[in-house]
Amino acid sequence: MIRAAAKNYKSVAVVTDASMYGELIDRIENGTNDEAYRFECARRAFGHTAAYDARISNYLNGISGEEFPEKLTLTFEKKSPLRYGENPSQSAAFYVSKNKSAFGIESAEFLHGKELSYNNIGDAQAAVALIKEFNEPACAAIKHSSPCGAAIGETVYDAFLAAYECDPQSIFGGIVSFNRAVDARTASKMKELFLDVIIAPSYEEEALRILQKKKNLRLLALPGISQKPKGAFEFKSVGGGLLVQQTDKNEIESENFNVVTKITPSASQMKDLIFGMKVARHVKSNAIVVAKDGRTLGIGGGQVSRVWAAEAAIGHALSSLDGAVLASDALFPFPDVVELCAKAGVKAIIQPGGSKNDAASVEACDKRGIAMVFTGMRHFKH
């Protein structure tokens, strides 16, 4: 009936939302229920029925177990207009789906600060995705959608301080996320810095009072920040097409670790190797993360050469790497990264393995007293 009424908009005004009732009544009473208004009602009605049909189609595909149907129907509702996109010359808006199990940035409550920008939203989602990796109190710092520091600790304050100390320069103007409530002590420390967005499950009252003194700082609350998305997919536009894939959601701890060197990582090193890989899969490929004691020491990402990514991670470290570990999102084509690790004092490496030159990297590790673990699982992020 809605579609039929919309098709006959020259004679019929069709409304599909209670928010439209008031205007319709006013227009009927003052005689402005004209064709232009009825056309606008029809436009909204077709959007409404299309979204309804799409939800039915997706529901039926889910019942049949069809992950990638012949026709992909997606429906999103506009949450808010945005001042502009990545750059002022680009118009933009923020749309969200009806999927209540994503537990992403779309579910966050805006508590304080300036309006979120296109880049804020993208970076905040990257911060949310990374913080979901950890069960311990943790902090993730994001700049340009890539981690610039991450750490776990006994408290959120410890985690924040360790993440900040990884790269005090890049965190400037960045996004910070937590998986525990922000307390006053942590808030006081963050107030000293220039941050764009803070997102956490909640804030202590005193912490809010401290942070709200910075009028431009955006504060977001996401109670479900630690919850993993269910059945999540990722989308990327490519010209006139769309790439669709499952999210990289496997648990790092459950991967098939295979120690391939004569030296076996210690228990503490293995914990750091897992921590490093959790961060590495959120860094743009090629990705290298150097870590120790549950904190990142250096991060190298987005390089066209894996050894360049390793040089960036090792070279940017602000503290000694003696006894540190290194995580790589993909295999080593050559043993050059091992050579860098040996010079820097790195004692253990985790990588997927699978290169025809694996033996050369393993041999290089054995010669230099470095432990190496293969996981058999790649974590590219492009």
For the chain, domains (ranges, CATH) are 2-64 (3.40.50.1380), 77-221 (3.40.140.20), 250-374 (3.40.140.20)
- Of these ranges, 39-53, 101-115, 325-339, the one predicted with the greatest mean pLDDT is 325-339
The residue from 7, 100, 249, 262 that is catalytic is 7
Query: Is 282 noted as a catalytic residue in this protein?
Result: no
Cα distance between the two ends of the chain: 45
Task: Render pLDDT for 161-219 as a digit per residue (tens, 0 to 9).
Answer: 999 999 999 999 999 999 999 999 999 999 999 999 999 999 999 999 999 999 999 99
For the cut 90, the answer to whether the pLDDT of residue 360 exceeds it is yes
For the cut 90, the answer to whether the pLDDT of residue 289 exceeds it is yes
Q: What predicted TM-score, i.e. pTM, was given to this entire model?
A: 0.90
> In 3D, which of 168, 160, 151 has the Cα closest to residue 292?
151
Could you give the 3-state DSSP secondary structure of residue 111? Answer: strand
> In 3D, which of 345, 365, 343, 368 has the Cα closest to residue 353?
365
- The pLDDT mean for the chain works out to 94
For the cut 90, the answer to whether the pLDDT of residue 58 exceeds it is no
Phi, psi at 179, each rounded to 5°: -110, 15
For the cut 90, the answer to whether the pLDDT of residue 362 exceeds it is yes
- Name the strand (E) or helix (H) holding 121: helix 118-131
The residue from 10, 48, 144, 284 that is catalytic is 144
